[in-house]
């Protein structure tokens, strides 16, 4: 009986986030780059009271770790740049005196 094709490969954590939406952005970026990943811990945030900060981990197969780390770093940098653009646009929308 054959097992899962990746059963001998190790998962490694390439990023940790405090917010579920950041982990989701990383997951989407990885999937768009063709890298399989798993997000671990997000369900804990939804089901447990905030006793201690819970880190949401993004995990990939060890063979993809280096490339995945770069994909996530690029995605987070891009998201930060877009957030700054949105802040600048909202400044333009403030009422004039």
Q: Does the residue 97 lie in any domain?
A: no
Overall average pLDDT of the 9-31 stretch: 94
Burial grade of 14 (CB within 10 A; 0-12, 13-18, 19 or more): buried
pLDDT of 94 > 80? The answer is no
Overall average pLDDT of the 49-66 stretch: 86
pLDDT of 35 > 90? The answer is yes
Place of tokens 């804990």: 44
The larger pLDDT score, comparing residue 16 to residue 78, is at 16
pLDDT at residue 89, rounded to an integer: 46
Q: Does the residue 4 lie in any domain?
A: no
Q: Does the residue 18 lie in any domain?
A: yes
Q: Does the residue 3 lie in any domain?
A: no
User: Which residue segment(s) compose the domain that 82 sits in?
Assistant: 11-90
Domain count, the chain: 1
Q: Does the residue 96 lie in any domain?
A: no
Q: Does the residue 1 lie in any domain?
A: no
| CATH number assigned to the domain comprising residue 81 | 3.30.70
Low-confidence winner among 24-33, 51-60, 74-83 (lowest mean pLDDT): 74-83
Which residues have CB under 8 Å from 86's CB, separation 6+?
none
């Amino acid at each position: 009986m054959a097992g899962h094709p990746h059963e001998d490969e190790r998962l490694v954590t390439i990023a940790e986030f405090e917010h579920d939406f950041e982990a989701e952005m990383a997951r989407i970026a990885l999937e768009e780059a063709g890298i399989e990943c798993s997000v671990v811990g997000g369900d804990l945030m939804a089901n447990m009271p905030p006793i201690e900060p819970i880190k949401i981990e993004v995990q990939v197969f060890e063979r993809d770790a280096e490339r995945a780390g770069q994909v996530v770093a690029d995605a987070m940098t891009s998201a930060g740049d877009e957030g700054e653009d949105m802040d600048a646009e909202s400044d333009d929308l403030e009422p004039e005196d």
